[in-house]
Amino acid sequence: RDVEMAWGFYGHRLNMYRATSPHAGFSILLETCQSKKTGGFVFTSNVDGQFQKAGFGDSSIYECHGSIHHLQCSKPCNDSTWSWAEPEGIIALELSSMRAHIEEIPKCGKCGETA
């Protein structure tokens, strides 16, 4: 089990997603939903949080594969997940090896195990 390598991979994507802005298609979808009498609902396999960034409310989004912005205990000591928001949600990486800095890897708030 190589936690630094795993979090390097995961953290690199997390950092990229957090630095990305939604493209114009998200605005078009949001405007379409807002123009409807009953609003709209998004069912997505995206894990990047771009619908939220574009202005869709959490209650109108179902992320069937979950979200890269939520964590859970790797042990697992419980079944709960938690939001991992910016700025604490940025992973420092050693770019030459793509490994996360061990002190940056998030921990479970209940048992201290790696998230």
User: pLDDT tens across 60-73, in order?
Assistant: 999 999 999 899 99
- Measure the CA–CA gap between 40 and 13, rounded to whole angstroms: 28
> Is the bond preceding residue 106 a cis peptide, omega within 30 degrees?
no
Q: What is the pTM of this model?
A: 0.81
The per-residue pLDDT for 48 is 94
Q: What share of the chain is helix, strand, coil (3-state, %, to 5)?
A: 35, 15, 50
The per-residue pLDDT for 71 is 92
Phi, psi (rounded to 5 degrees) for 12: -60, -45
The per-residue pLDDT for 87 is 56
Low-confidence residues of the chain: pLDDT under 70:
86-89
